[in-house]
Amino acid sequence: MKNKKTFFICIFPLAFIAVLLIIFSALGGINRTGYLNEIKLIKKNTYHFRINYYDKIFRNSDIYNVYLDTQRTINDNSFIKNIKMEKDGSPFGTLTTTKAINTKKIDNIKYTLKIKNTVYLYIIIIYVIIIFLYFFKHIKNASKTFINFVIVNKKTAMPVLVISSIFIILLLSLTILGSINRTGYLNEIKLIKKNTYHFRINYYDKIFRNSDIYNVYLDTQRTINDNSFIKNIKMEKDGSPFGTLTTTKAINTKKIDNIKYTLKIKDIVYLYMIMIYLFSIFLFYGILVVKENKLVLVSTSLLIIIQIFIYFSLYNYFRLI
């Protein structure tokens, strides 16, 4: 009974957190209405601004980053030529116009929200601390137990430690390599309406490209600067290789060459790794502490089922937004 209670204390918070994150992510992804204010002239026809909100809850906060629908804002305000946010998820940005702005705010803009990566990190830390405190009586001699376990089980423990180290190094290497500026091109350029085209990012690099591991991020400002006929670029969604661009003239070429892009490991990859890590901890605890074969078997089976369910739920959600 005690072991079952311990098992459910470990599992229920994990399942609750996963469901809560999915709900908050889905709510954040809904289009909401706000306005641009704190509009200040920087130089001729270039203004700094801040996104503000009518909604008192769903807004930029310690939980959410905010994402302005720049293309819709430009379409709804013909005097705006281009919008550039200060950084990913920031409420601050700059816009260039065809005339001076005499209003204090630009109303009826649309925005969405996305949970900050730091929130995931904090949740993991809090969860691990809670579990650590609950199991403190078992963990206080963990170092000695772990060392003895490694010494006694060299053949099994050492490979696990080596593989874990390689895995961490590989992850850091992929992150660093993905952040390097690389050269590609825009192709599959199709006219949607006058001077508005759909496109796809393509790559000269055969490895570092949009994939199941990486999202791709086009350097939109550099692409606009390098191609004077492009007025604005809007990606379909964060990390997508697809987008639309508006121009000052018709495009007669099949591709726009020498664009720059970077890569970022997909959130779902991190989330799946977290599930594997937590699963490993529970399995380790079950084998070394519980020592009841039936409970370990049931616990392991339930954990695998829950892990697969959460993975596919999160994968499908992130694939669709």
Within 117-153, residue ranges assigned H as helices are: 117-134, 136-139, 142-152
- The residue with greater pLDDT, 207 or 303, is 207
Structure tokens at 294: 């039936």
Assess whether pLDDT exceeds 70 at residue 15: yes
Assess whether pLDDT exceeds 50 at residue 320: no
* Residue 183, pLDDT score: 92
Tell me how far apart the alpha carbons of residues 50 and 40 are, in angstroms, rounded to a whole number.
10
Neighbours of 303 (CB within 10 A): 21
Tell me how far apart the alpha carbons of residues 83 and 226 are, in angstroms, rounded to a whole number.
17
* Residue 317, pLDDT score: 45
Average pLDDT over residues 71-80: 89
pLDDT per residue over 140-163, tens digit each?
555 566 666 556 666 555 555 655
Assess whether pLDDT exceeds 60 at residue 321: no
CB 5 within 8 A of CB 134: no
CB 11 within 8 A of CB 298: no
* Residue 29, pLDDT score: 87
Neighbours of 7 (CB within 10 A): 20
Q: Is 186 helix (H, G, I), strand (E, B) or coil?
A: strand
Tell me how far apart the alpha carbons of residues 308 and 50 are, in angstroms, rounded to a whole number.
41
CB 113 within 8 A of CB 65: yes
Assess whether pLDDT exceeds 50 at residue 296: yes
Mean pLDDT lowest for which of 53-57, 130-134, 205-209, 245-249?
130-134
Residues whose CB falls within 8 Å of the CB of residue 255, separated by 6 or more in sequence, listed in order: 185, 186, 187, 189, 202
Structure tokens at 18: 């996963």
pLDDT class for 33, splitting at 50, 70, 90?
very high
* Residue 319, pLDDT score: 44
pLDDT class for 123, splitting at 50, 70, 90?
confident
Average pLDDT over residues 282-288: 58
Residues whose CB falls within 8 Å of the CB of residue 244, separated by 6 or more in sequence, listed in order: 71, 192, 196, 197, 198, 199, 233, 234, 236
Average pLDDT over residues 258-271: 84
Bridge partners of 109?
A: 34
* Residue 16, pLDDT score: 79
Backbone angles phi, psi at 20, to 5 degrees: -60, -45
Assess whether pLDDT exceeds 70 at residue 244: yes
Average pLDDT over residues 71-97: 88
Assess whether pLDDT exceeds 50 at residue 258: yes
* Residue 53, pLDDT score: 92
The CA distances from residue 162 to 102, 194, 317, in Å, are 63, 58, 34
Q: Is 104 helix (H, G, I), strand (E, B) or coil?
A: coil
Tell me how far apart the alpha carbons of residues 3 and 7 are, in angstroms, rounded to a whole number.
6
Backbone angles phi, psi at 254, to 5 degrees: -80, -20
Assess whether pLDDT exceeds 60 at residue 292: no
Assess whether pLDDT exceeds 70 at residue 266: yes
CB 244 within 8 A of CB 198: yes
* Residue 289, pLDDT score: 53
- Please give the angle made by the CA atoms of 216, 219 and 224, to the nearest 5 degrees: 140
Amino acid identity at 177: L
Mean pLDDT across the chain: 78
